[in-house]
Chains A and B, each alone.
Chain A
Amino acid sequence: MCNVCGCGAGEARIEGQSLQPGHAGGGLMAYRRLRSRNERQHLPADSRWVAVGSPVAPSGEKPLGESEASLLPSAAPAGLIHYGQGAAGGEVPGMSQARMVRIEQDILGRNNVHAARNRAWLAVRGILALNLVSSPGSGKTSLLVRTIEALRTRIPLAVVEGDQQTSFDAERIRATGAPALQINTGKGCHLDARMVEQALEKLSPVEESVVLIENVGNLVCPAAFDLGEAAKVVVLSVTEGEDKPLKYPDMFAAARLMLLNKVDLLPYLSFDVDKALDFARRVNPGLEIICLSATTGSGFSAWLDWIEARRRETLALRHSAPLTCNLPSGPESHADRC
């Protein structure tokens, strides 16, 4: 488990390797609380924390004793960010010894910090990133394979694959010749921005390319986790029933585009397309919709045009405003590479 954002580092793997314990990519350190309980009262605030992976307390070693702990230098590297420091502090005196402390911190704040960093990293390179979300089996990988085959002579593409287990999907992508990286989330049911941050570093997509991120097949929580993408694309297939947008509204609300896939199967089903589109627009009035088939390729030109339009926007942004990467410059910060 990532101690900084709870994002499941102990479980998640990129290409079979554990995620780095800290946030090496961003000048941010993961901190681990020292175990001893009664030292809380005696130590100055800073010395209660040691950087995970620092020489003084490598993670996984036995907890330090109290006397050792008190000898530790306070761990406050230059790249450390303490979020929400400004917001806290308004204390209300209460009854007896109890008192109220205002915190006012977004529960997904950690993820959002990683996501913002990814977004900046992508923007300075003119890379368009799309986050494909859907229930399992609606055809994300099939869509990606066909998309890559159609675009790869014109646009460099790379893929980040998220699944709980196996690297089958990344292998399917690599068979097209495009670079792909597999993230296995283990027990985790969604990709988070930190996993994608590390995946982007490993994948190092070329400038002005398109990165397609296939999220874990799950119509629920990927909606809540911003990865730093330009847009979420929700895939609904006609075999799933037209009521999905109402049953899982959050995903359809979070998406900019919906792909209604497997339309080649419509003659064999009683799926009501108009009803499905109406339900989706109830949840998200601004939702763009394209009906297509990853098997036959029908409707694909609209989808490819959509990608190219988003890419032009990304490139225009890059060339109009000289984007600077104003990120904290820690020893291993993204700033090195901007």
Chain B
Amino acid sequence: MHEMSLAENIRQIIEEAGCRQGFGRVRTVILEVGALAAVEPESLRFCFDLVMKDSIADGARLQIDSVPGQGQCLQCGKTVPVAALYDPCPCCGCYEVQATLGTGMRVRELEIE
């Protein structure tokens, strides 16, 4: 459901870039999606194919590069990898880890013709 509005936003970003830079077709769309960004890649792929119909990225391949989650432990101060928001700190075992990386998502690159 929410992946649908993300796909709509992606289409808009692509069409605007196409308008600005004057390119025609898009072959590949490369996204960066944080592991903590609450996006389901399979659901996003499904919505992507639907939403790109009749756009310059109709039929484009979608590449989703995952960005690993990272956080800072408020107890031991270390920067640690975070796979899920409720994971404990791998160093000290406490749960006071504040996510700092891997929460966002962006369109990084397009392969165009």
The finding on whether chains A and B are genuine partners in a shared complex, rather than unrelated, reads yes
Q: Identify the A interface with B (CB < 8 A).
A: 1, 3-8, 33, 40-41, 45-46, 48-49, 82-85, 88-89, 94, 97-111, 188-190, 192, 220-221, 223-224, 245-246, 249-250, 252-253, 279, 281-286
Q: Is the CB of A99 within 8 A of B12?
A: no
Q: Is the CB of B86 within 8 A of A246?
A: yes
A98-B27, A101-B21, A249-B85 given; A107·B110 CB < 8 A: no
Residues in chain A near residue B9, CB distance under 8 A: 5-6, 107-111
Residues in chain A near residue B27, CB distance under 8 A: 98
Q: Is the CB of A45 within 8 A of B19?
A: yes
Residues in chain B near residue A221, CB distance under 8 A: 1-2, 5, 38
- Report the number of A-B residue pairs with Cβ-Cβ less than 8 Å: 135
Residues in chain A near residue B14, CB distance under 8 A: 103
A-B contact pairs, 9 of them (CB 8 A): A6-B12, A46-B19, A49-B19, A82-B16, A98-B112, A100-B110, A109-B9, A220-B2, A282-B95
Residues in chain A near residue B16, CB distance under 8 A: 82-83
Known: A3-B12, A281-B96. 16 other contacts (CB 8 A): A6-B4, A6-B8, A82-B16, A94-B111, A99-B112, A100-B109, A102-B108, A103-B110, A107-B6, A107-B105, A110-B9, A220-B38, A249-B85, A250-B85, A279-B86, A282-B86
A45-B20, A189-B1 given; A104·B12 CB < 8 A: no
Residues in chain A near residue B42, CB distance under 8 A: none
Within 8 A of A (CB), among B1-30: 1-2, 4-17, 19-24, 27
B52 close to A (CB within 8 Å) = no
Q: How far is the CA of A94 from the CA of B111 in the complex (A)?
A: 9
| A85 shortest CB reach to chain B, Å | 7
A40-B24, A102-B109, A221-B1 given; A107·B13 CB < 8 A: yes
Q: Is the CB of A99 within 8 A of B111?
A: yes
Residues in chain B near residue A220, CB distance under 8 A: 1-2, 38
Residues in chain A near residue B4, CB distance under 8 A: 6
Residues in chain A near residue B97, CB distance under 8 A: 285
Within 8 A of A (CB), among B86-102: 86, 88, 95-99
| A128 shortest CB reach to chain B, Å | 25
Q: How far is the CA of A157 from the CA of B98 in the complex (A)?
A: 33
Residues in chain B near residue A249, CB distance under 8 A: 84-86
Interface size on B, residues (CB 8 A): 49
Q: Pick the 3 closest A-B CB pairs, nearest first.
A: A6-B8, A221-B2, A282-B95
| A290 shortest CB reach to chain B, Å | 20
B59 close to A (CB within 8 Å) = no
Q: How far is the CA of A103 from the CA of B106 in the complex (A)?
A: 9
Q: How far is the CA of A190 from the CA of B3 in the complex (A)?
A: 12
- Cβ contact of B107, chosen from A8, A105, A188, cutoff 8 A: A105
Q: How far is the CA of A106 from the CA of B86 in the complex (A)?
A: 25
Q: Is the CB of B112 within 8 A of A33?
A: no
Residues in chain A near residue B105, CB distance under 8 A: 106-108
Nearest to A252 among chain B residues (CB) is B85
A89-B21, A105-B106, A245-B86 given; A285·B96 CB < 8 A: yes
Residues in chain A near residue B110, CB distance under 8 A: 100-101, 103
Residues in chain A near residue B8, CB distance under 8 A: 1, 5-7
Nearest to A90 among chain B residues (CB) is B109
Q: Is the CB of B107 within 8 A of A103?
A: yes
Q: Is the CB of B85 within 8 A of A283?
A: yes
- Cβ contact of A224, chosen from B7, B20, B38, B88, cutoff 8 A: B38
Residues in chain B near residue A97, CB distance under 8 A: 113
Nearest to B4 among chain A residues (CB) is A6
A48-B19, A246-B86, A282-B86 given; A98·B109 CB < 8 A: no
